[in-house]
Every structure is written in structure tokens, then in C-alpha cells.
Amino acid sequence: MRIAGYLLVIFLQLSWPALAGIGAQGTGEFADHWRPDPMHEYWDPGAHHRPETERVAGVFTGEECLECHAAITPGIVKDWRTSRHALADKPVLCPACHGEDHQKLIFPTPQTCGACHPQRLAQMEEEKKYGFPSHALAMERAVDAKHFADKPKAEVTSCLQCHSVATKCDSCHTRHRFDAAEARRPEACITCHSGPPHPDDETFFNSAHGRKYRLEGKNWAWNNPLKKGNYPAPTCAYCHMRDGNHQVADKAVWKFGIREINPTSAENKIKRKRWMELCADCHPNEIGETFFQALDSERSTAWQQLYNVEKILKKLRSDTLLSPSASERPPYPMEWLATVWPKERIGFYEGQASAFYNVSAIERDYFEMWYFSNLGAYKGMAHGAGEMAKKFHERMDAEARAIGVEAERLRHTKKEGVDWKALWMRGEYTEFNRDHN
């Protein structure tokens, strides 16, 4: 009887999303399980933009577009008139990017821009060979995640405001100026690279480079290319997009701090060499060597501590002391195996469920130690903000102690008779989302 019940659960787990997704027009690995909202045509225009066919019909020249839109959307026209597109010897007019048939208009994609800027498009596409994380794979990273199809749309669509960097160029070059000088400034990057998961803004601005930028940057010549000698101190774009290269993952020696990497592999030796060459624009070689020694030492310390804490949680799991347990809370999304064999997920190699789903308090504490404090420590050291790295390591120390104390409490406290299933498996969040994605 139990086996029959499991088979029924498996059938429903597999068939419900497919049935619920009939008529959906999502993208990614779980395209049939979610429906795009109207904003998706701006975040991923190549997949979701649908031309307006009911209002204006006709084929128009660029001059006619400008005449009309000067009244309808004057800000767009004003931006375009100050752009290099407008000031070129042969101006790049509206039809070059949007088409001339008003009922077949497009929103530009990187491929659209690549028709005139093939080198930049090729550089961005090349980034994919390094895997995640990267700009070129950002959208794929989002829509191929199971939680993207499982969680409330209001939560996951907000992710695309940054992950759409893979599917449109105006994440960095705001339309319709597409100004390279604007994209070179740190503010263009920290629009997305900020907050607990990636505190690049906080760590950069606390470095010597960042402090110099904040004092003097408003007077720098941002129209200059990202070449040696053009800037008094490096910024995000100078280091990660040297010479304007749109390949930003070619120096990420520690996978941005979220996983342990062998620093002596062939790939990482090449990345380190690139990084050292960059530092040599301003510093003697021994400065770069000292920097990497400090960075490697910081990473070794961080991962040793993370693995020690991870062992504590895994021991609690094996002793069935995590509460609520995986069997008492909603299963990880769209995984039938999690329904019949629930298991707590701890650490990088078992998945990042703690980022997106209900977990016990101690699991979440470890996740925040690994994903927030650990990243802050790495980013601080990588950006030359040693004091910031020290601050985040002090936070990790405090979090490790607190997790140890909580683990002892769980081990010596009688398990409470709380009906976690009634509390976690029902309610507006779980039940509403099951039927309205």
C-alpha cells in the first residue's frame, strides 16, 4: 500500500507541473512550467517581445520615427541625439536597431548590437567557456533553476532585473545613449553588484582604489579607453574589462569565493597571470605576488572554517536532530525523489536550497555564513580592502560559535512536539503558489 502511495505521489509530482504549464511560454529547462509576465519582454526581448500590431501600421524612415517620438517619448529622442549613434558621420537611426515596419518592431538583443559590434559580442559569448558565474550565462542561470518555476512569480521575476545582463546590452549602457563613458563608471556595475550576496560596492569603496575614486572620480576623463595610464586608479571596468574587453570572467581565480578551487590548476594559473599583468599596470611584480599570497591564505582559512561548521550540521542530520526535518517541510521543488526520500541539503555540493526555501534555523544560519559573510571576506581581500575582509572573518567566527552553541542545544534538548507539517505544508505561500504560477 505504501509503495502504491509513493507511485501516486511520483505521478502527481511529475504530471502536475506539465499539466499546469499547458499554454505557457516560458524559457529555459522548465519552460513548460511557468508563464512570463509582461516585464519579461524587456528583460529577455529575444524570447518574449511581441510587437504591437493594433495601433500603428506602416513602414517608416528614421527621420519619421524621430519626428513622431519627439512628441511621444521626447526623453528617448533627447538621449539618442547626444549619442555616438546620432553624431556619427552616417547616423545610426531607429530602424537599424528596431526595424522599419511598425508592426514588426523588435527590442534589441546582444545579437542585434553584435551586427555592428561583432568583437564585443564575441567576447561576451566567449565568457561561457568559464561556466557560472558570468554575465553571458546569467539568464540561463536564472530560468534553468527549479525554484524559478516553483516559487511565487513576484519573488523570482525580481532576479531578472540583474540576470537580464545576458539578454540585453542596456544593463550597462542605458538606452538610448549607450554611452561607453557611463558604462565605465563603478555605478554602472554596482547597480547589480551590491548587497549581501555580492558586496562588491562595499568592498571596492573601502579599498584604496575605491577611496581615490570617490574623492577624485568626478573629474576623471571617462571618455578615455580602459588602457594603462588613462585612469589614476582602477575601477570595476578597468580591472574586469581591461581594454574594453567584454569578457569579465577571465580572471576569477576563486569562482568569486562561493566554492573552493584548486589554485594550481592550468586554468587558474592562466587567470592569475592575467591578474598579475593587470596589477603591473601600476605596481611592481612583488606587490602582486604578495597580494595573491594574502588572498590564498584568506581562502584557505575561510574554507577550513566552513567545512568544520558543515560537519556539525551533517552530524545533526545523521542523528535526525534538525527541526523541522526535511520530511516536515515542503520538498525541494519539482523533484519527485525529495517527496519520497526527503533529505536536508547542506553546503555547496548539495545545492543552495537554503537560499530559496524553508529550512531549519541552523541550516539558514550556515547558509548566511557561507554565502554572505564568506563572500564578503573574499570580496574584501580580492578588492584590496583588507580591513573589510577582517570584519567579515570576525563575523564568520561569531556565526561559527553561534552555530556550535545551537547544535549543542539541539543535541541536549528533547525534540519539541510541534506539528511542523501543519505549519509549513499549508498556508497561502505554499498552497497559493502551487496553483498560480
Q: How do residues 199-238 score in pLDDT, each as one tens digit? A: 999 999 999 999 999 999 999 999 999 999 999 999 999 9
Q: Is the pLDDT of residue 432 over 80?
A: no
Q: Is the pLDDT of residue 190 over 90?
A: yes
Task: Mark whether 307 and 427 lie in a shared domain.
Answer: yes
Task: Mark whether 241 and 320 lie in a shared domain.
Answer: no
- Return the closest-CA partner of residue 338 out of 358, 319, 355: 358
Q: What is residue 352's predicted lDDT score, i.e. its pLDDT?
A: 65
Q: Per the domain annotation, does 407 fall within a domain?
A: yes
For the chain, the domain total comes to: 2
Q: What is residue 14's predicted lDDT score, i.e. its pLDDT?
A: 39
Task: Mark whether 413 and 332 lie in a shared domain.
Answer: yes
Task: Mark whether 307 and 426 lie in a shared domain.
Answer: yes
Task: Mark whether 326 and 424 lie in a shared domain.
Answer: yes
pLDDT band at 149 (very low <50, low <70, confident <90, very high): confident
Q: What is residue 20's predicted lDDT score, i.e. its pLDDT?
A: 37
Task: Mark whether 431 and 301 lie in a shared domain.
Answer: yes
Point out the least confidently predicted range of 18-22, 296-300, 313-317, 405-409. 18-22
pLDDT tens track for 355-403: 777 788 899 999 999 999 999 999 999 999 999 999 999 999 999 999 9
Q: Look-up: residue for cell 562561493?
A: 258
Helix/strand/coil for 245:
coil
Report the share of the chain in percent with pLDDT over 90.
62
pLDDT band at 260 (very low <50, low <70, confident <90, very high): confident
Point out the least confidently predicted range of 16-25, 83-92, 167-176. 16-25
pLDDT band at 321 (very low <50, low <70, confident <90, very high): very high
Q: What is residue 394's predicted lDDT score, i.e. its pLDDT?
A: 98
Q: State how far the Cα of 157 lies from the Cα of 139, in Å rounded to an integer.
A: 11
Q: Which residues contact 395 (CB under 8 A, 6 or more apart)?
A: 373, 376
Q: Per the domain annotation, does 122 fall within a domain?
A: no
Task: Mark whether 389 and 300 lie in a shared domain.
Answer: yes
Q: Per the domain annotation, does 53 fall within a domain?
A: no
Do the beta carbons of residue 371 and residue 355 sit within 8 Å?
yes
Q: State how far the Cα of 384 lies from the Cα of 329, in Å rounded to an integer.
A: 42
Task: Mark whether 239 and 299 lie in a shared domain.
Answer: no
Mean pLDDT of 69-85: 95
Q: Per the domain annotation, does 221 fall within a domain?
A: yes
Name the average pLDDT for the chain.
87
Task: Mark whether 301 and 423 lie in a shared domain.
Answer: yes
Alpha-carbon separation of residue 200 from 77, 203, 256, 297 (angstroms): 34, 5, 10, 20
Q: What is residue 21's predicted lDDT score, i.e. its pLDDT?
A: 35
Torsion region of 178: left, alpha or beta (phi above 0 gives left; psi -120 to 50 gives alpha): left
Q: Which long-range contacts (CB under 8 A, 24 or more apart) does 224-233 make?
A: 226/184, 228/281, 229/281, 233/208, 233/209, 233/282
Q: Per the domain annotation, does 214 fall within a domain?
A: yes
Q: Per the domain annotation, does 147 fall within a domain?
A: no
Q: Which residues contact 272 (CB under 8 A, 6 or more apart)?
A: 253, 263, 292
Q: Which long-range contacts (CB under 8 A, 24 or more apart) does 108-111 make?
A: 108/45, 108/168, 108/169, 108/170, 109/45, 109/46, 109/167, 109/168, 110/166, 110/167, 110/168, 110/169, 111/46
Q: Per the domain annotation, does 412 fall within a domain?
A: yes
Among 218, 247, 276, the domain-final residue is 247
Q: Per the domain annotation, does 36 fall within a domain?
A: no
Task: Mark whether 297 and 431 lie in a shared domain.
Answer: yes
Q: Which domain holds residue 409?
A: 293-435
Among 189, 222, 247, the domain-final residue is 247
